[in-house]
Structure 1
């Protein structure tokens, strides 16, 4: 099917067969232009060496295509850019909560993380930001994917998350006799600047910091700030000096505002944000990443998976208020990114958050933008991902129907293409 273009397109182009080996032509019935919100008809997307060389829709000039280019015909589907999840933990697995994970050797987590990467890609998420892993596992997964050993999305790794000794990102489940602590903890601006440099040295492309307590740690309260503003500012300044973006785990209102004032680029969870925090985020241009889906999974399955009662209680306390604050932020026009915290719920279900975002006040096209054009801006990678445009990667997801009318279509893509290669 090349319907509108017909036989003329089949014969177009004068490139040699060798050049044609790297050319892929993707056709469908509709293309959702996420930036304008318009649906265009009969798209022809030409991908050369993994990047988009041309995009033409009905009425446009015929593209120059080698006669023997590979073709991916998606029939009546609607195509849109490959999706971006800005908050995942590929080596985490919700099946093993609380202390149940201690039954496995250390290398188990990266091995099962390879499977999680494949599930994420097949779910339509061609790019993810992995905000925290032990042993630089996300860097290893990224390298294995790029070398073609395993299947998975493009990964923007954070390596170890930075935080305060005894805080949410530290080791909080073991007694003193184990003397175990995360290597990325710091208790002064200078110590935390060094931690930034260490993470970058070993492959981090974004710096994650824990500004407040969290749900799934012990001896921390989600609403309590754990790093001073001057410490957060030191992290942001050092990361930006090295041309890295930053992300802050921040549930509590004070920690959220301190992170925004310090210059952190994206604020994750954002559970207890208040009106002042929303206004500050808008004024400073910070992106907000509410993980508004995973509460349902934790409350339904957490106890069975070994999550401790105290952690389930914290999730119950956080979830409802977080969603109401999401509604307030959406109403105020705050800048949103798609952050799901995959690994707290099963990988591959990333698309289920779209419907929750719409239920709590975001327009469908804005929910889609949060996982495409907005995410690309927040990553600082608008030349690579987030839109079906010339020069960007040939990352495409296809659904049967109009996702601006029914965002649940994004839970079940009919095709996923990464760099011009169809994912099977």
Structure 2
């Protein structure tokens, strides 16, 4: 091997290194048709659990469901034995921060770079997907790192969920979306800061220009930010109306971070599509949300996790205590009033991969039935995202996003906290019963037009599957 490198010319070495660096790996289904032989299939529309059904996958879409007894395998089919499992659609989390980590140290925030965020995103996307969440909304990331993460996942270069992304969230000067940790002499401003109607219109259009699928705004102060009050409204009604008008006209929905009652009321009146957190939601806000069909995304489990494991800096502790004291009871009030609920977790405030704990809160603290809780992470979340045609159920023509659990999640919602089987777009990313059946990334053309293959490099050691 050393001798081979000694006789290589510099040009040859450059070409070899460049080819390896430009190698791209794409996940592809192993067969044109995959038959998932299920013990039971959960219909999230009705709650019916049909025994002995087969989910028929063609390429990356669901071709249909049929009784296993009348669905024989054809030559070339891949058959997956899930007869010991309950099969249901991949779950959806509409409030994640995949490019962020669970670290509340202000110095950690100040030393974060776009490069670090991108690397965190690759790790957290895989963890989230393997937790059974095949679709997410990423509501806030610096440097459009979530746009890049989405694009690389869509290209098949890295594993991760389907993503809708917001890029930098919009907020007022000194508000929750601004950078408030450094003194004036550094003149640091959050990427999405915009004040006044012309400025917020420009920021909406700029985010869309650089790839945002939705717009995230700070309607109120927050908890994990310095110097602002979660109960204080930040954007005015008029500013939010301008944001919503531009976003909707350009085909994007708007998610509003809103803790305070006034902010919830104004954001709902302005026409945002979802209220995130909703801690101080009152009767007027509930009425406005019902009037406009606004979703509530409770992000409730993070309260439990912070109380048990969190180690917040002193400047955030009192705000967290105040919000935690009221958020859940107001969410219960909203649910009883008929406000639409979509599952969102604020993953990054607690570790990624624990997303399904949110559904346990809905059932065992909010009083939802297990089916209603699952619907928040399937049908409702898909509706909020405008992706009902693609995700949220195992209907014919939708993306082949399928998970399976041992046991019945309608009897024990906690089963969703451990998902042994995950398929996204017809690709198996996790199968604990048959680890060798997990689809491996296949190399595509390198930078010099040659497929990267160890067969083409007989004198070199094999390239590890984990090296991409």
What's the TM-score once normalised by structure 1's chain length?
0.91
Deviations 1:238-279 (A, max 9, x none): 000011111000000110010100000011001110122112
SS in 1 for 2:182: coil
Contact 1:28 1:76 in 2 (8 A): yes
Match of 1:27 among 20, 37, 42: 37
Does residue 391 of the first structure (1) align with residue 397 of the second (2)?
Answer: yes
Q: 1:311 maps to what in 2? A: 316
Q: 1:11 maps to what in 2? A: none
Note the residue ranges of structure 1 that are not aligned, 5 or more in a row: 1-18
Contact 2:30 2:427 in 1 (8 A): no
- The alignment of Structure 1 onto Structure 2 pairs a total of residues equal to 401
C-alpha distance in 2 between matches for 1:285 and 1:227: 21
Does residue 44 of the first structure (1) align with residue 49 of the second (2)?
Answer: no
Q: 2:66 maps to what in 1? A: 56
Does residue 138 of the first structure (1) align with residue 143 of the second (2)?
Answer: no
Match of 1:351 among 334, 337, 356: 356
C-alpha distance in 1 between matches for 2:182 and 2:112: 16
The equivalences for 1:162-241 within 5 A come to: 162-241=170-249
Q: 1:274 maps to what in 2? A: 282
Q: 1:77 maps to what in 2? A: 85
Match of 1:89 among 60, 73, 97: 97
Q: 1:260 maps to what in 2? A: 268
Contact 1:270 1:288 in 2 (8 A): yes
Match of 1:364 among 349, 365, 370: 370
Q: 1:4 maps to what in 2? A: none
C-alpha distance in 2 between matches for 1:285 and 1:194: 27
Q: 1:342 maps to what in 2? A: 347
Does residue 406 of the first structure (1) align with residue 416 of the second (2)?
Answer: no
How far 1:302 sits from its partner (Å)? 2.9
How far 1:142 sits from its partner (Å)? 0.8
C-alpha distance in 1 between matches for 2:315 and 2:305: 16
C-alpha distance in 2 between matches for 1:392 and 1:405: 27
Change (3 A) 1:308 1:73: same
SS in 2 for 1:75: strand
Match of 1:121 among 115, 122, 129: 129
C-alpha distance in 1 between matches for 2:46 and 2:180: 46
C-alpha distance in 1 between matches for 2:86 and 2:358: 20
Does residue 250 of the first structure (1) align with residue 250 of the second (2)?
Answer: no
How far 1:148 sits from its partner (Å)? 2.2
C-alpha distance in 1 between matches for 2:104 and 2:128: 19
Note the residue ranges of structure 2 that are not aligned, 5 or more in a row: 1-28, 431-468
How far 1:73 sits from its partner (Å)? 1.5
C-alpha distance in 1 between matches for 2:66 and 2:96: 34
Q: 1:380 maps to what in 2? A: 386
Deviations 1:7-47 (A, max 9, x none): xxxxxxxxxxxx99321111211111111121122221111
C-alpha distance in 2 between matches for 1:325 and 1:100: 33
Deviations 1:205-236 (A, max 9, x none): 01101100000111111111001111111111
Match of 2:424 among 409, 418, 423: 418
Change (3 A) 1:105 1:162: closer
C-alpha distance in 1 between matches for 2:114 and 2:249: 33
Match of 2:106 among 78, 98, 110: 98
Contact 1:114 1:141 in 2 (8 A): yes
C-alpha distance in 2 between matches for 1:423 and 1:84: 16
Which protein shows a greater Rg? 2
What's the TM-score once normalised by structure 2's chain length?
0.83
C-alpha distance in 2 between matches for 1:232 and 1:147: 34
Q: 2:458 maps to what in 1? A: none
Q: 1:16 maps to what in 2? A: none
Does residue 323 of the first structure (1) align with residue 328 of the second (2)?
Answer: yes
Q: 2:459 maps to what in 1? A: none
C-alpha distance in 2 between matches for 1:385 and 1:394: 8
C-alpha distance in 2 between matches for 1:312 and 1:375: 31
